[in-house]
Structure 1
């Protein structure tokens, strides 16, 4: 790696080269040189030698490293693009090298748990909000990074990689994070909005994954567009109530990261969460589906966490509760649907 690259102040860091991380790195590379981190030495070599990452094309301005210290010392702005299941470990790995001057934006639509070492979700009897962390909260807990933001919205990687028009939201309490994210990513085909409610935006991106699994199941059963409209509208109501309970705002749920992403993922065969629901409806088992998927469907873990939170908070969320029973208690999808059809929703909208 040349010293010329490291002396360039425009160098931007990207942590993680999954499908979304690769797309974001390529988009950033249209304006800046990019340094990506991958934990696998073979992937690093592939990027540097062939300009591909696990077969996916990478911009020629992108260079890879396996060294967290090298990336942190070379880049002031860093995009974290890793699954929620690995996010806490990766944050801890980068923690010795991240400084308060760094600007960190994550693109992970998931939740982590703050549990005593060795304890699992199944052993927790009272999963209150303090134990549930969004990814920005993980970064703030595990590192000294201050200027933290998130990237969320209807951003299906396959479509972005083709240059199809799309938009996203950069959310942060710090306006300079929003402005920098907009400067780096905005283009003629990619609009970037700003939002100061980072928790609300994160929760919107997380909670819509639950509804996307259910939407895939409806499609797999061949139940039509009316049923999907019912699910999306009731799912939106459930998202609003859950976001409020977890500390988010109603406003963010109605933005691009909420209803925008919800509609997209409930209608896209390219959505991993939608695909899980669709295959379940076709009679496949959850473990088989997950074993065959190349990347994580974040909604599976989210359903488990939110179910634990509902029990601790004594709240109801019928779509989430019944989806949990389908995923983990062998409830038939048809039976879950019948329950939802009979659930006593007496008011259409009760949060405005």
Structure 2
């Protein structure tokens, strides 16, 4: 039996049943047997009894488990859909049961901070690239898995669950990971592109979240489409410069995972990051917004990490820097906007 046919005889695993995890499980279930992992036994019982996960509808064929060893044994391809804050912990739980033959294709648009043991983010004033991990780098650090990929693109979970047309990018250094991701996920309503620049694709999905928060703030202030066009275009330039500094290529940022995702999340009330900015502009406090949200807005942590990273470089990222002041230094959204309008941008595009 070939390795490819061996993969096809097994169910596909999804780790995590947040909104995006459920959406991906349902897409996979159109053509595959699917096993999903949830840590909470009550959620697993709900999945297997009612075909829902925290009230979100799952395909009736999807089976739930809270046993990491079982899902690793039964599935050679796994899709981790875990918020970045808990990603390392989950990988450490799964690491004893993962092998080099596994494929892991994650869907997390966040970064992880690597600090010496015992040190916290509050104790550092700057960090280097060596202190920042994308989720693919984290998987490689914490497990023996070699063939790693990621999903990125304009993939609002609610629209995916409604079966509306969409597309994603599967990125990996390994062509077989891209091909398997496309085979498993592609359907009449869901197009799947490939990209070998996994770091660039991951960073595209991560960095656009900061611009989405700013776009939500503009909408919350009641400003028009001209202002949003300015923000999105300048945000794209900032995203590319930061992405280069962190190891990504321009091609990835101007593709579906970059521009495609940026346009979507900067214009949708379904975006958690957009919602954070909108509510901030309406006068709510960040602590209250975070406490009230069902799922994580990854852009908040990203702004904090990128601000620390900027301190160790000669780069300027005015949108991120001002957003940091709004989120963490009680800076008014209106004041940050006025600063951006007066920032001396002399050249429109200078990276092509």
Shorter-chain TM-score bucket reads over 0.9
Q: 5 Å matches for 1:177-326?
A: 177-326=177-326
Does the 8 A contact of 1:111 with 1:206 survive in 2?
yes
For 2:50 and 2:33, locate their aligned partners in 1 and report how far apart those are by CA, in whole Å.
17
SS of the aligned residue for 1:314 comes to coil
Deviation of 1:313 (Å): 1.6
Name the residue aligned to 2:4. none
SS of the aligned residue for 2:78 comes to strand
For 1:315 and 1:121, locate their aligned partners in 2 and report how far apart those are by CA, in whole Å.
21
For 1:146 and 1:53, locate their aligned partners in 2 and report how far apart those are by CA, in whole Å.
30
For 2:289 and 2:158, locate their aligned partners in 1 and report how far apart those are by CA, in whole Å.
20
For 2:265 and 2:209, locate their aligned partners in 1 and report how far apart those are by CA, in whole Å.
8
Deviations 1:320-346 (A, max 9, x none): 000000000011111000100000000
For 1:188 and 1:144, locate their aligned partners in 2 and report how far apart those are by CA, in whole Å.
35
For 2:138 and 2:179, locate their aligned partners in 1 and report how far apart those are by CA, in whole Å.
22
For 1:225 and 1:54, locate their aligned partners in 2 and report how far apart those are by CA, in whole Å.
36
Root-mean-square deviation over aligned CA pairs: 1.0
For 2:8 and 2:127, locate their aligned partners in 1 and report how far apart those are by CA, in whole Å.
46
- 4+ runs of 1 displaced by more than 6 Å? none
Runs of 5+ unmatched residues, structure 2: 1-6
Deviation of 1:114 (Å): 1.2
Does the 8 A contact of 1:32 with 1:61 survive in 2?
no
Deviation of 1:222 (Å): 0.5
Does the 8 A contact of 2:78 with 2:103 survive in 1?
yes
1:99 aligned onto 2:79: no
For 1:96 and 1:251, locate their aligned partners in 2 and report how far apart those are by CA, in whole Å.
36
For 1:172 and 1:186, locate their aligned partners in 2 and report how far apart those are by CA, in whole Å.
17
Q: What TM-score do you get using the length of structure 2 for normalisation?
A: 0.97
Deviation of 1:225 (Å): 0.2
SS of the aligned residue for 1:167 comes to strand
For 1:186 and 1:47, locate their aligned partners in 2 and report how far apart those are by CA, in whole Å.
24
For 2:59 and 2:116, locate their aligned partners in 1 and report how far apart those are by CA, in whole Å.
42
For 1:118 and 1:264, locate their aligned partners in 2 and report how far apart those are by CA, in whole Å.
39
Deviations 1:282-327 (A, max 9, x none): 0000000000000000000000000000001232100000000000
For 2:21 and 2:229, locate their aligned partners in 1 and report how far apart those are by CA, in whole Å.
31
Runs of 5+ unmatched residues, structure 1: 1-6
For 1:98 and 1:270, locate their aligned partners in 2 and report how far apart those are by CA, in whole Å.
34
Aligned length: 346
For 2:273 and 2:16, locate their aligned partners in 1 and report how far apart those are by CA, in whole Å.
20
Q: What TM-score do you get using the length of structure 1 for normalisation?
A: 0.97
Q: 5 Å matches for 1:324-343?
A: 324-343=324-343
Deviation of 1:96 (Å): 0.5
For 2:256 and 2:126, locate their aligned partners in 1 and report how far apart those are by CA, in whole Å.
32
For 1:118 and 1:296, locate their aligned partners in 2 and report how far apart those are by CA, in whole Å.
24
Name the residue aligned to 1:4. none
For 1:317 and 1:274, locate their aligned partners in 2 and report how far apart those are by CA, in whole Å.
19
Deviation of 1:124 (Å): 2.0
Name the residue aligned to 2:347. 347
Does the 8 A contact of 2:10 with 2:74 survive in 1?
no
